[in-house]
Amino acid sequence: MAEQNGFALAKVRKSYPTRSGEVVALDGIDLVVPRGSFTVLLGPSGCGKSTILRLLADLEEPTAGTVTVHDETPAAIRRAHRTGLALQDPSLLPWRSVRDNIRLPGQVMGRPIPNERIDELLSLIGLEDFAKARPGELSGGMRQRVAIARAIAIRPEILLLDEPFGALDEITRQYMNEELQSLWASTGATALLVTHSISEAAFLADRVVVMSPRPGRIVGEVAIDFARPRTRSLLTEPAFHAVCDRLSAMLHAGGEPAMADA
């Protein structure tokens, strides 16, 4: 049986009119990934990673070309609340408890999430004892875990994550990568994660899509077939280093980064 499409972008261009002329954020983007796969977009700041994620989330529309998600328009998927989204800034509601933050998307959808499901999520992210805490009482890593639990609480078919771990130290980040892998495995969602960390990309992805700036374009795709679940011992294996070296070479061949704007 042929694999079903997860995300499909065809001849996508996205440009923004600005006072100093047209900024071409993306040009000539062609990308198809299978349903249920984990894709990582890797590239320097300004290469259009977030723009691709926003197109898939229906937060933007392409200037030209087509975007489909599970063979439907991003708008149809968004209206049906089939996407879980977590951004760099976890943007939790400070006056709501951890439990009530995770509950929120279900309330917005008018489909309340059962308490047992929230308990299960709290234990998955290791925050059973913090259900009643407010976001201000948590560390950055804990807040990110809540944001990811909130994104998957509705059992999304699609999971879109924009540098969710950018602000974390290396140790916490590796821990979160392992957590994310098991959360994703428990949902079967088609996932897309944006990062500029080579090792995060190699650790998490089924496929890494390497991008370069001015204009944002895809310079290569690398399939990563390490067995799952992947554990931190993978990080010391020569095969892992070989993949990282290959990704690094692709990134550097792609050209100089745009002026930092991350």
Nearer to ligand ADP, 2 or 260 (CB): 260
* Residue 25 sits in the site that holds ligand ADP (CB under 6 A): yes
Residue 50 CB, shortest distance to Mg ion, in Å, is 3
d(C-alpha 47, C-alpha 153), whole Å = 30
Residue 254 binding target from ligand ADP, Mg ion, none, CB below 5 to 8 Å by type: none
Stretch that binds Mg ion, among 32-40, 43-51, 183-191, 248-256 (CB under 5 A): 43-51
Residue 148 CB, shortest distance to ligand ADP, in Å, is 19
Cα first-last separation, the chain = 41
Residue 16 binding target from ligand ADP, Mg ion, none, CB below 5 to 8 Å by type: ligand ADP
* Residue 212 sits in the site that holds Mg ion (CB under 5 A): no
Query: What strand order describes the sheet that includes 217-223?
Result: 83-86, 158-162, 190-195, 38-42, 207-212, 217-223
* Residue 39 sits in the site that holds Mg ion (CB under 5 A): no
* Residue 20 sits in the site that holds ligand ADP (CB under 6 A): no
d(C-alpha 95, C-alpha 2), whole Å = 47
Binding mask 49-78 for Mg ion (x = CB under 5 A): -x----------------------------
- 40, 47, 85, 198: which one binds ligand ADP (CB under 6 A): 47
Residue 52 CB, shortest distance to ligand ADP, in Å, is 7
Nearer to ligand ADP, 25 or 86 (CB): 25
Total of chain residues touching Mg ion, rule CB under 5 A: 1
Bridge partner list, 24: 15
* Residue 217 sits in the site that holds ligand ADP (CB under 6 A): no
* Residue 23 sits in the site that holds ligand ADP (CB under 6 A): yes
Residue 254 CB, shortest distance to ligand ADP, in Å, is 12
Q: How far is CA 34 from the centre of its chain?
A: 15
* Residue 74 sits in the site that holds ligand ADP (CB under 6 A): no
d(C-alpha 84, C-alpha 121), whole Å = 14
* Residues near Mg ion, by CB under 5 A: 50
